[in-house]
Structure 1
Amino acid sequence: MSKSKPTLKSHLEELKCHFTWGLQEKDADIEELEERLKIQLEYLNKNLKVRVYSMLAYVNHLKNDYTEAIVNLQKAEAILTESKVLETDIKYLLTFSNYAWLHYYLNDSESSQLYIDKINAIYTQSKGLEDLVQSETNGEQGWALMKFCGQYYERAKGCFEEAVKGNPDDPEWNTGLATVVCRLEEFRGRNCPAFKSVSFQLLERAVKLNPKDSVIKVLLALKLQELKRQEEAMKHIKDALELTPDLPYVLRYVAKFYRRAGKFEETIRVLKKAVSITPNSGFLHHQLGLCYRQMIIQRKRTGKANYRGQDTQEIKDLTEKAIFHFEMALEMKKTFLHAHFDLADMYVRSNQYQKAEETYKKATELITTPEHEKQQAHLQYGKFLENSKKSEDEAVEQYKEGLRIPDQNTHRQECEMCLRRIANQRLARNSRDTSALALLGFISKENQDKSNALNNDSSNDEYLSKLFDLKLK
């Protein structure tokens, strides 16, 4: 006889799978994630597809498509069966756990309990191998977090570290750790020198443990390029292309390597090949846009950009191509924040100021962006309003929005610097400028820096009002 539903739910909540790892729909663009996972299924090694099918089943659940979710888990199970993996092997834990949850949502308590029993059988069979089991679940959680969305990278890093601790020589967990640390180095405006000091060693170890993984090879090549070790970097690029000449994930990083080296023709050739394979990749279109924009910058730097003050036809063509690919990137991935910034920048460069403003405004309205990205969006929009639109008051409002977000990083600091600069410029013109004093009061209030606020000019009524408000708080 199956257990009652409340008891069953408590057992389900103890499982280690996508349903218990805190993967929130609000934090990701689910449509874009689903598209990305489907692309991966076309090119990944068969054994790695088990992980993708299991995650795709969870995405199907988020979309209330339980029929497709079960189908995807059946595909994951079929791969394990074909690979002659026994049902009591820990490789089945993730798939069986997701099965248990899906049957629970389908109100099939009996089937849900059946999978819980299978999971318990795996744990019984694995007695004495607790570290290995824990390593497996931590590693799978790391991959799930990293694939789901960027703001989970920190948590993913912790999971991979635990996985490696339990199974130090596992190629998958070492590769995951090296990958997520690389992504965290300068993630979304956060400069993390601490990660840079360890990422190279992690990448080297991952390549040593997993020499047939072409993606980790190109990541190591990019790191070697940063370290000015060009010959070694190029060797890894060639090795990766020999292993998987048509793998989009390799081609995208190879293109990045060539673009950094200023080899724009090579970059465009590689990116166009990658786009022909995966035409719906917002990342690839963004990379093409970056390449064309860099070509414009290079032409202008070398004096080939204009003739008698006018842009040449070549510059106009490059501008159109850059705009096209940035627009395509946003069509494919509407929540791609940096593509918003880059597209807006190209609109400014081509004197399309209304479109630029609309694009910056959309960036500030994205709902899936984390706090530090929202700060960056307000900062960039503010700079546009101040420098291109020449609307200081509107710019101030954006800088203030950025400062209101408490997340401490360089974007918030820059919002504060912009506000202080504007306030000081106004005070230089008029030492009793009420708007300037109010701005300084606002900064002090947001920073909860009452002592500094009290040192300012107390004869201004508006500023006194600010100080009185601070004292009340």
Structure 2
Amino acid sequence: MMSAAQSQTTLESKLEALQCHFTWDLESSRPIPLRLRDHLEDIGTEEGNSWLGHIYNLRGFVQYKLGFTEDAQSFFNKAAEAFRRIRNADEGPWLVVNYGNLAWLHHHLGDQAESQAYLSKVDALMNKYPSPSQDQLHPEIYAEKAWTLMTFSTDKTLAVDYFQRAIRMQPDMVEWNSSYVLGLVDAFKYSDTGLEADLLKKMRMAKEQDPENLYLAAHYLTLRADRERKIEDEARELARKVLRNPVSSYSGIKPLLEVYINHVSIDEAINWQRRLWKNIQMSVI
């Protein structure tokens, strides 16, 4: 019979083998400051956001690292519910990371039985939904890891690689492809070699597949603005769309404002900012 110490060692080795925020060594690339929590709050959690489950998972991890364990559990539970609503299914491989987070959280809280229960749930999901490629993680795990690194890390290169792996195995996920090309923009923004030769083509195709993604549209317009003339009307139309949507850090405001300042006019940029601020004030009344 296994001793208590052996059981604890076995549990910890299983936890270390999980793919989740607690094992991704996120703090080695960036210490968790309070401003990251504020940034995650600003991403937006409106219904229809395809990354809502991932947002809640990362917010839960950040809250745990900041010492707010009850908030962490609340966000992990919200993540599970968000995944179920968005995927319209009670279970699936998209819950592997979430259950891994909950296994770690309960372990740290001293509830080893509950931790083991979530480990068993992870095992069940991985057996039921194996990766299409035996030597690769499941694409859902790659996608969440990529999105997390895109949000958390200053170096987007690894995130781009993980998105590529996910898309290669599951090419029909529109939001993965959109985030992949946005990651390419960040990865090559400060590169000596400049942007990939076909990046604009990739962004155009992603925009066609994901026409409601205003953040993607704004970045696409930013890249084209330096190469094309007469983008003013397109910028104004995009600005009207942004005004009709909830304000968040992924509304496309920052890149679109850059286009206004550099390629439309300073006066129009100021007026547009005033309208944005008015919308923000109205939304909190």
Give TM-score, length-normalised by structure 1.
0.53
The answer on whether the counterparts of 1:25 and 1:62 sit within 8 Å (CA) in structure 2 is no
The match for 2:270 is 268
145, 150, 156: which is aligned to 2:149? Answer: 145
Q: Distance in 2 between matches of 1:264 and 1:244?
A: 18
Q: Distance in 2 between matches of 1:101 and 1:108?
A: 10
Matches within 5 A, 1:110-149: 110-127=113-130, 129-130=132-133, 134-149=138-153
Whole-angstrom CA distance in 2 between matches of 1:173 and 1:30: 27
Distance 1:229 1:262 in 2: 11
Are 1:156 and 2:159 an aligned pair? Answer: yes
| Separation in structure 2 between the aligned mates of residue 169 and residue 239 of structure 1, nearest angstrom | 26
- Matched with 1:210 is 210
State the 1:143 CA deviation: 0.7
Q: Which residue of 2 aligns with 1:238?
A: 237
Could you report, residue by residue, the CA deviation over 1:6-25 in whole angstroms, capped at 9, with x for unpaired residues?
A: 11121112222111222016
Q: Partners of 2:34 and 2:72 in 1: how far apart? A: 15
Instruction: Measure, in 2, the Cα distance between the counterparts of 1:84 and 1:167.
Output: 15
Instruction: Give 1:146 deviation, angstroms.
Output: 1.0
Alignment CA distance shift 1:45-1:237 (3 Å): farther
Q: Which residue number in structure 1 is paired with residue 224 of structure 2?
A: 224
Gaps of 5+ in 2: none
Using the alignment, how far apart are the partners of 1:46 and 1:160 within structure 2? 18
> Counterpart in 1 of 2:16?
13
Q: Aligned partners of 1:97 and 1:128: how far apart in 2?
A: 17
CA separation in 1, counterparts of 2:32 and 2:101?
21
Q: Which protein shows a greater Rg?
A: 1
The 3 A distance-change label for structure 1 pair 172 and 83 is: closer
In the TM superposition, residue 177 of structure 1 has moved relative to its aligned partner by: 1.2
CA 1:167–1:107 in structure 2 vs 1: closer, same or farther (change >3 Å)?
same
C-alpha change, 1:14 and 1:87, in structure 2 (3 Å) is farther
Give the Å deviation of 1:205. 2.2
Structure 1 contact 18–58 (Cα < 8 Å) conserved: yes
Distance 2:25 2:280 in 1: 30
Aligned pair count reads 274
1:51–1:76 CA contact under 8 A, matched in 2: yes
CA 1:243–1:105: 2 relative to 1, 3 Å: same
Q: CA deviation at 1:43?
A: 4.6
Residues 1:51 and 1:237: Cα distance change in structure 2 (over 3 Å): farther
Q: Percent identity?
A: 20
- 1:91 aligns with 94
Shift of 1:88: 3.3
1:201 maps to amino acid: K
Root-mean-square deviation (CA, aligned residues, Å) is: 2.8
CA distance in 2, matches of 1:163, 1:108: 34
Whole-Å Cα distance in 1 between the matches of residues 36 and 278 of structure 2? 20
What amino acid maps onto 2:42 in structure 1? I
Map Cα deviations across residues 120-160 of structure 1 (whole Å, 9 max, x no partner). Answer: 1112222474589622111111110010131x312112111
Shift of 1:273: 3.9
Partner Cα separation in structure 2 for residue 183 and residue 50 of structure 1: 23
Deviation of 1:59 after TM superposition, in Å, equals 0.5
Instruction: Show the counterpart of 2:39.
Output: 36
The answer on whether the counterparts of 2:143 and 2:163 sit within 8 Å (CA) in structure 1 is: yes
After superposition, give the CA deviation of every residue in 1:293-342 in whole Å (9 maximum; x if it has no partner).
xxxxxxxxxxxxxxxxxxxxxxxxxxxxxxxxxxxxxxxxxxxxxxxxxx
Per the alignment, residue 466 of structure 1 pairs with none
Q: 1:153 to 1:277 in 2, by over 3 A?
A: farther
CA 1:235–1:60 in structure 2 vs 1: closer, same or farther (change >3 Å)? Answer: same
2:176 corresponds to 1:173: yes
Mapped contact 2:29–2:153 kept (Cα < 8 A): no
Q: Is the 8 A contact 1:214 1:241 kept in 2?
A: no
Q: Which structure dedicates a bigger proportion of its chain to helix? A: 1
Provide the rounded CA distance (Å) in 2 between the counterparts of 1:94 and 1:244: 35
1:250 alignment partner in structure 2:
252
Matched to 1:255, the amino acid is L
How far 1:41 moved relative to its partner?
3.0
Q: Amino acid of the residue matched to residue 242 of structure 1?
A: K
Distance 1:9 1:74 in 2: 22
8 A contact 1:259–1:267 mirrored in 2: yes
- Deviation string 1:360-410 (CA, Å, 9 cap, x unpaired) is xxxxxxxxxxxxxxxxxxxxxxxxxxxxxxxxxxxxxxxxxxxxxxxxxxx
What SS does structure 2 have at the residue aligned with 1:34?
helix
In structure 2, the residue matched to 1:288 is: none
In structure 1, the gaps of 5 or more residues are 280-473
8 Å CA contact 1:218, 1:250 repeated in 2: yes
Q: What CA distance in whole angstroms lies between the structure 2 residues aligned with 1:203 and 1:8? A: 45
Aligned amino acid, residue 99 of structure 1: L
Query: In structure 2, what is the equivalent of residue 418 of structure 1?
Result: none
